[in-house]
Amino acid sequence: MEIVVRDDAKTVTEPKFDWQHISYLLLLSRAMDTIEERDLVPAKLVFNQFSARGHDLAQILLGSLLTHPHDAATGYYRSRPFVLSLGLDIEEAVASPMAKSGGYSDGRDIGVVCNYPNPERKGAMLFPMCGGVGAQYTPISGWAQSIVYHRDQLQDASYKSAIGLSMGGDSSMSTSGFWSALNISTTHKLPHLFYIEDNGYGISVPQSEQTPGGDQVANLAAYKHLKIIDGDGTDPVTAPKLIAEAVAHVRSGEGPCLLRLKVPRLCGHTFQDTQTYKPEVLIADEQARDPLPRLQGYLEESNILSAQQWQQLEGRAMAEVLVAVEAAKQRPEPNPEDLQRFVYAEANTVQLRGGLAADGYQFPSQTDQPKPQGQRLNMLTAIRKTLDYELQSNPKVLVFGEDVGPKGGVHGATLGLHETHGQQRVFDTSLSEEGIIGRSVGMALAGLMPVPEIQFRKYAEPAAEQLSDTGIMRWRTFNQFAAPMVVRVPGGFAKRGDPWHSMSDEVEWVHKVGWQLAMPSNADDAVGLLRYALRDNNPTIFFEHRNLLDNSWARRPYPGNDYVIPFGKAKTLLQGDKLTLVCWGAMVERCELAAKTLAEQRDQQQLVEVIDLRTLQPWDEKAVLTSVTKTGRCLIVHEDNLSAGFGAEIAAVLADKVFFDLDAPIQRLTMPNIPSPHNFNLLEAALPSASDIADAMNNLLDI
Ligand X SMILES: Cc1ncc(C[n+]2csc(CCOP(=O)(O)OP(=O)(O)O)c2C)c(N)n1
38/112 Cα distance (integer angstroms): 17
Residue 106 Cβ vs ligand X, minimum distance, rounded to whole Å:
22
324/93 Cα distance (integer angstroms): 9
Cβ burial, residue 248 (10 Å; 0-12/13-18/19+): middle
* Enclosing H/E stretch for 94: helix 90-95
* Enclosing H/E stretch for 399: strand 397-401
Nearer to ligand X, 202 or 435 (CB): 202
Using the contact rule CB under 6 A, the part of the chain among 163-171, 308-316, 405-413, 533-541 near ligand X is 163-171
281/389 Cα distance (integer angstroms): 66
Residue 115 Cβ vs ligand X, minimum distance, rounded to whole Å:
17
Restricting to residues 435-474, name those near ligand X by CB under 6 A: none
Query: What are the beta bridge partners of residue 668?
Result: 636
270/455 Cα distance (integer angstroms): 40
Q: Which of 68, 249, 501, 638 does the annotation list as catalytic?
A: 501
* Enclosing H/E stretch for 606: none
Nearer to ligand X, 265 or 578 (CB): 265
- Reduced to 3 states (helix: H, G, I; strand: E, B; else coil), residue 33 is helix
Using the contact rule CB under 6 A, the part of the chain among 184-192, 194-202, 487-495, 565-573 near ligand X is 194-202
**Residues in binding contact with ligand X, number by CB under 6 A:** 17
Using the contact rule CB under 6 A, the part of the chain among 127-135, 340-348, 450-458, 557-565 near ligand X is 127-135
Residue 267 Cβ vs ligand X, minimum distance, rounded to whole Å:
11
Residue 247 Cβ vs ligand X, minimum distance, rounded to whole Å:
21
Query: What are the beta bridge partners of residue 376?
Result: 557
CB-facing half-sphere around the CA of 123: CA atoms within 13 A = 16
Sign of CA dihedral 583, 585, 587, 593: positive
Using the contact rule CB under 6 A, the part of the chain among 5-13, 131-139, 389-397, 474-482 near ligand X is 131-139
Chain-centroid distance of CA 130 in Å reads 9
Restricting to residues 50-109, name those near ligand X by CB under 6 A: 78
Residue 133 Cβ vs ligand X, minimum distance, rounded to whole Å:
4
Using the contact rule CB under 6 A, the part of the chain among 164-172, 281-289, 561-569, 655-663 near ligand X is 164-172
Nearer to ligand X, 241 or 262 (CB): 262
Taking a C-beta distance cutoff of 8 angstroms, is the pair 13, 75 a contact?
no
Nearer to ligand X, 133 or 266 (CB): 133
Q: Is 170 in the site for ligand X (CB under 6 A)?
A: yes
579/628 Cα distance (integer angstroms): 7
- Out of 201, 271, 542, 646, the only residue in the binding site for ligand X (CB under 6 A) is 201
Taking a C-beta distance cutoff of 8 angstroms, is the pair 149, 191 a contact?
no
Residue 500 Cβ vs ligand X, minimum distance, rounded to whole Å:
25
453/437 Cα distance (integer angstroms): 9
**Bridge-based pairing state of the strands 227-232 and 2-5:** parallel
Residue 371 Cβ vs ligand X, minimum distance, rounded to whole Å:
49
488/416 Cα distance (integer angstroms): 17
Could you check whether the bond before residue 618 is cis, i.e. omega within 30 degrees of 0? yes
Q: Is 21 designated active site?
A: no
Which one-letter amino acid corresponds to residue 215? D
Nearer to ligand X, 124 or 196 (CB): 196
Q: Is 169 in the site for ligand X (CB under 6 A)?
A: yes
- Out of 81, 103, 123, 134, the only residue in the binding site for ligand X (CB under 6 A) is 134
Nearer to ligand X, 68 or 269 (CB): 269
Chain-centroid distance of CA 236 in Å reads 36
Residue 178 Cβ vs ligand X, minimum distance, rounded to whole Å:
9
Nearer to ligand X, 172 or 238 (CB): 172
Nearer to ligand X, 133 or 483 (CB): 133
> Closest CB to ligand X belongs to which residue?
169
* Enclosing H/E stretch for 574: strand 571-574
- Out of 41, 133, 398, 486, the only residue in the binding site for ligand X (CB under 6 A) is 133
DSSP for 158-222, written as a single string: GGTT--EEEEEEGGGGGSHHHHHHHHHHHHTT-SEEEEEEE-SEETTEEGGGTSGGG-TTGGGTT
- Out of 172, 432, 641, 676, the only residue in the binding site for ligand X (CB under 6 A) is 172
169/406 Cα distance (integer angstroms): 38
Nearer to ligand X, 167 or 243 (CB): 167
Nearer to ligand X, 184 or 196 (CB): 196
Q: Is 131 in the site for ligand X (CB under 6 A)?
A: yes
Let me know the angle formed at the C-alpha of 478 by 473 and 479, rounded to the nearest 5 degrees.
Answer: 70
Residue 264 Cβ vs ligand X, minimum distance, rounded to whole Å:
11
Site string for ligand X, 491-530 (x = CB under 6 A): ----------------------------------------
Chain-centroid distance of CA 440 in Å reads 7
- Out of 75, 111, 191, 202, the only residue in the binding site for ligand X (CB under 6 A) is 202
Using the contact rule CB under 6 A, the part of the chain among 18-26, 197-205, 532-540, 666-674 near ligand X is 197-205
CB-facing half-sphere around the CA of 402: CA atoms within 13 A = 15
- Reduced to 3 states (helix: H, G, I; strand: E, B; else coil), residue 5 is strand
Residue 535 Cβ vs ligand X, minimum distance, rounded to whole Å:
34
- Out of 105, 115, 171, 216, the only residue in the binding site for ligand X (CB under 6 A) is 171
Q: Is 199 in the site for ligand X (CB under 6 A)?
A: yes
Q: Note the residues at the interface with ligand X (CB under 6 A).
A: 78, 131-134, 168-172, 197, 199, 201-203, 265, 269
- The residues that are catalytic are 501
